Chain A
Amino acid sequence: EAGVAQSPRYKIIEKRQSVAFWCNPISGHATLYWYQQILGQGPKLLIQFQNNGVVDDSQLPKDRFSAERLKGVDSTLKIQPAKLEDSAVYLCASSRKQGSGANVLTFGAGSRLTVL
């Protein structure tokens, strides 16, 4: 099966600019996640979608970050305005809703953001 697709792979912006990342999960995976991974740390959950509804966005900095999954398939994560501390890899992952493998995440290759 095709994996989780993410773009762009790399992005360099200046602080206070905006950036958007796109993710297309594995076909049929109802749950989609955005994680932020800062260098030397484990991935931190930003937001979790079940189909097109938000399950958990408690760790999303809502003053500058937003995410949507309008049709329950692909998703966009936006940062506006960016800060230096937003430099990280943004990982998208998907999983099945239920059944075998419901808790198993498949990650995309990530989008590496550098904020100057």
Chain B
Amino acid sequence: RKEVEQDPGPFNVPEGATVAFNCTYSNSASQSFFWYRQDCRKEPKLLMSVYSSGNEDGRFTAQLNRASQYISLLIRDSKLSDSATYLCVVNFRSANNLFFGTGTRLTVIP
């Protein structure tokens, strides 16, 4: 089983739609969780950290379910500029050793 698994998509959604991505992780001892965004031919950039109680940043909401070992990202009112690949990131083995999922590609259509 891979350390971090994501549905690669692609997800094609119309502007204004709500879309959700899930990511599962294998190590129950993992403590740090993140969503990174990667635009085409660019480097990944931190979108948001994921906290145990869940957290929200504008149109983006991240949730953590430790019992089922998954994290989710919800994007409301999708914008064209949200088109990117969303990478799920989980720490593994040590606090500063991060593993990336394969990414979920999102395309927002006008």
| B12-20, B52-60, B62-70, B91-99: which lies at the interface | B91-99
Contact call A56/B45, Cβ cutoff below 8 A: no
Q: How many residues of A contact B (CB 8 A)?
A: 24
Most chain A CB atoms below 10 A, which of B42, B93, B95, B98: B98
**Contacts A103-B32, A104-B49 given; does A41 touch B102 at CB 8 Å:** yes
Chain B interface extent, by class: 20 to 34
Instruction: Provide the bound-state CA to CA distance between A42 and B8, in Å.
Output: 10
Q: Does A102 contact B (CB under 8 A)?
A: yes
Contact call A56/B93, Cβ cutoff below 8 A: yes
**Contacts A42-B101, A42-B102 given; does A31 touch B96 at CB 8 Å:** yes
Chain B positions within 8 Å of A, measured between CB atoms, are: 4, 6, 8, 32, 34, 42-46, 49, 87, 91, 93-103
